[in-house]
Each structure stands twice: as structure tokens, then as C-alpha cells.
């Protein structure tokens, strides 16, 4: 497979329920996680659900970082996807897990890309001429 990106799926369990229900806190740690791991933030969107839960996504030049929380279950689902060699997704994951005070977590890493039977070389004409697909 030609690997084009790395995708971390983080299951953060036994988190601090108050923290994962705090929109401002979640937004702050998400932005900090991007900054300390070398990401370039392009945009953001966060939302507080009623009565519980927060969701948020950072669009980064390297791809995205997202979170969805269920305080009633002390649980947060975090995705970190990158196609960059300079962004350090594991540093972002470690930071978020620590800040959420997760006492039990799992990180799955998936390589994203195209299989060897697909066209592996990029279409140079698309790159140089910026043709519409």
C-alpha cells in the first residue's frame, strides 16, 4: 500500500466528566494539542449539547483533529488524521488524554492510502495545470 496518511482513533475512557462537558476547556485543549504537535490550524467549529456533551473539530493543514464527548459515560472519542510528516499526532493524542484525565484509553493507528493495484503515481498534469477533475 502507498501510505498517504496516518489516522489515530482514541478511545478515552474514565475521563473527568466535568472537563469533557466544558466547551471552553475542550476548545482550549484541542487548540493547544494542535499547536504543540506542529499542526497549522485552518479553522474550527465547537458545539455544546444540552444537557451534556461537546463536539469539536479543528481543520488543520495536515488534515483534522476531532472530539466527541459523553460525560454521562466519562468517555471521549478523538480522531487525529494527518498526511504530514512534520505533524506529530501521537504528541497531540498524549496531550489530550492527559488533559481529559483519562484513566483508561486505547489508541488505534490506521494507515490510510491506496492499494498496490491502484495507480500509485500522482497525475502530474493535475498538479501542474490545476485542471478541474
Using DSSP bridges, classify how beta strands 2-13 and 41-48 pair: parallel, antiparallel or unpaired.
Answer: unpaired
Which sequence positions are flagged as catalytic?
A: 63, 68, 83
Give alpha helix (H) positions in 15-132.
23-36, 89-99, 124-129
Q: What CA–CA distance (Å, rounded) separates 5 from 41? A: 18
DSSP string of 15-39, one letter each residue: --TTGGG-HHHHHHHHHHHHHHTT-
Amino acid at each position: 500500500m502507498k501510505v498517504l496518511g496516518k489516522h489515530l482513533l482514541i478511545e478515552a475512557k474514565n475521563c473527568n466528566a466535568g472537563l469533557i462537558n466544558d466547551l471552553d476547556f475542550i476548545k482550549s485543549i484541542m487548540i493547544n494539542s494542535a499547536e504543540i504537535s506542529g499542526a497549522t490550524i485552518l479553522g474550527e467549529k465547537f458545539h455544546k449539547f444540552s444537557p451534556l456533551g461537546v463536539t469539536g473539530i479543528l481543520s488543520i493543514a495536515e488534515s483534522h483533529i476531532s472530539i466527541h464527548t459523553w460525560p454521562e459515560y466519562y468517555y471521549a472519542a478523538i480522531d487525529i488524521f494527518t498526511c504530514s510528516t512534520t505533524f506529530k499526532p501521537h504528541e497531540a493524542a498524549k496531550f489530550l488524554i492527559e488533559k481529559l484525565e483519562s484513566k483508561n484509553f486505547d489508541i488505534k493507528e490506521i494507515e490510510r492510502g491506496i492499494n498496490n493495484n491502484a495507480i500509485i503515481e500522482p497525475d502530474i498534469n493535475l498538479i501542474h495545470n490545476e485542471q478541474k477533475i
